[in-house]
């Protein structure tokens, strides 16, 4: 099994590298030097190309692609883990209200942050948006978990209804803040609600990379735990798995990931729904395979979506959240139809 998994990882990793390098050279800007020269410059770190080419390559496109990799992998792994602990395929961060909770608290920071900052240490001012987005995510995920789960079993109807309620409530709060916002704050709020990777820079990437690495150290090895949970919590406990500890780790780290990603890229929905669904068609519910592969496939999906978003109507840009919603809605409908069939 390990050899098979390693082969799948290798194939997806090669595909990710090829797609990422291709995305570097796709866009409205025409490079002065051939692609091969830029690749040599990229891997040798030598300045053998013109300064304008270097700026577009290293300061605009490369950070954006790296951020797409981090965002895609983070959202996919989060969606996979949440589906595992809730034991249903609809528990993605955006559908159960976690993303909307992050957006609401980010909106609070954008609109009334100036009144809050004097009461917090100055060292936290730059991280305030990320912290508030995390708080919003942790509050909503805890609320949804408490409402929809009883005796270790999650009711899918209550899960979705509580997600709808949270999304509506947070949407109303965000709408009110939008109404009260200034012109500059309105532009920022529009960015967060539609999603974009245009604000990518190496500083944001370094922060998100730390969060991703720490989270993945705990989440990626959870395949065995999630497989055991498919048998029921009692059976999983008999196998020696600390269920409550695992749940708390997944919930807290999922909220941390979603909150941090939202603070840097805004709402990029349905990634955590699409990727596990695709992988589940191939590997059923074997989370030993799905978890590591979801990180790579999620990165590929977001790179492709972001490349389309910045080139389809160039020089303008389609918000990436709109594209992922177009991709995810048919998947969501397909899951509901399969669930309806199973009920029949």
Residue 124: pLDDT over 80: no
Q: Which domain holds residue 317?
A: 2-343
Using the structure block, give the residue that is written with the tokens 């939008």.
178
Q: What is the pLDDT of residues 248-299, one digit of tens each?
A: 888 889 888 988 898 888 889 889 988 998 898 888 888 999 999 999 999 9
Q: How does the average pLDDT of the chain come out, rounded?
A: 85
**Reduced to 3 states, what is the DSSP secondary structure of residue 154?**
strand
Residue 38: pLDDT over 70: no
> In which band, very low, low, confident or very high, does the pLDDT at 41 lie, cut at 50, 70 and 90?
low
DSSP H or E run through 150: strand 149-150
- Domains of the chain: total: 1
Say how far apart CA 227 and CA 283 lie, in whole Å.
12
> In which band, very low, low, confident or very high, does the pLDDT at 44 lie, cut at 50, 70 and 90?
low
Give the pLDDT confidence score for residue 69 in this predicted structure: 96
CATH number of the CATH domain containing 288: 1.10.3470.10
Residue 307: pLDDT over 90: yes
Give the pLDDT confidence score for residue 219 in this predicted structure: 94
- Asked if 302 and 271 touch (Cβ cutoff 8 Å), the reply is yes
Using the structure block, give the residue that is written with the tokens 């969606």.
79
Say how far apart CA 246 and CA 155 lie, in whole Å.
20
Give the pLDDT confidence score for residue 131 in this predicted structure: 83
- pTM of the predicted structure, to 2 decimals: 0.87
> In which band, very low, low, confident or very high, does the pLDDT at 8 lie, cut at 50, 70 and 90?
very high
Triad 187, 253, 161: Cα angle to 5° = 70
- Asked if 202 and 120 touch (Cβ cutoff 8 Å), the reply is no
DSSP state of 55: I
Residue 48: pLDDT over 70: no
**Reduced to 3 states, what is the DSSP secondary structure of residue 149?**
strand
């Amino acid at each position: 099994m390990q050899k098979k998994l390693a082969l799948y990882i290798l194939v997806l990793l090669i595909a990710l590298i090829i797609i990422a390098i291709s995305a570097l050279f796709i866009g409205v800007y025409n490079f002065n030097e051939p692609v091969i020269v830029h690749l040599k410059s990229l891997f040798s770190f030598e300045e053998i190309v013109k300064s304008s080419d270097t700026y577009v390559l290293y300061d605009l496109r490369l950070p954006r692609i790296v951020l797409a990799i981090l965002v895609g992998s983070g959202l996919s792994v989060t969606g996979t883990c949440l589906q595992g602990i809730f034991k249903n395929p609809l528990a993605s961060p955006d559908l159960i209200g976690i993303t909307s909770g992050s957006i609401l608290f980010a909106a609070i920071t954008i609109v009334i942050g100036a009144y809050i900052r004097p009461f917090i240490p100055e060292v936290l001012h730059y991280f305030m948006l990320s912290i508030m987005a995390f708080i919003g995510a942790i509050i909503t995920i805890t609320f949804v978990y408490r409402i929809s789960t009883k005796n270790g079993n999650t009711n899918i109807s209550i899960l979705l209804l509580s997600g709808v309620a949270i999304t509506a409530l947070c949407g109303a709060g965000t709408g009110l803040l939008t109404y009260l916002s200034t012109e500059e704050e309105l532009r920022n709020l529009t960015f967060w609600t539609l999603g974009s990777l245009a604000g990518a820079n190496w500083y944001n990437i370094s922060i998100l990379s730390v969060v991703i690495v720490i989270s993945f150290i705990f989440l990626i090895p959870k395949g065995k735990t999630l497989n055991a949970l498919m048998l029921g919590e009692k059976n999983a406990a008999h196998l020696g798995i600390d269920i409550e500890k695992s749940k708390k780790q997944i919930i807290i780290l999922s909220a941390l990931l979603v909150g941090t990603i939202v603070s840097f890229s805004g709402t990029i929905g349905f990634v955590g729904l699409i990727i596990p669904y695709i992988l589940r068609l191939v590997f059923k519910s074997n989370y030993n395979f799905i978890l590591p592969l979801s990180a790579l496939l999620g990165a590929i999906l977001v790179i492709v979506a972001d490349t389309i978003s910045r080139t389809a109507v160039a020089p303008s840009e389609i918000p990436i959240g709109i594209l992922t919603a177009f991709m995810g809605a048919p998947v969501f409908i397909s899951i509901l139809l399969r669930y309806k069939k199973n009920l029949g």
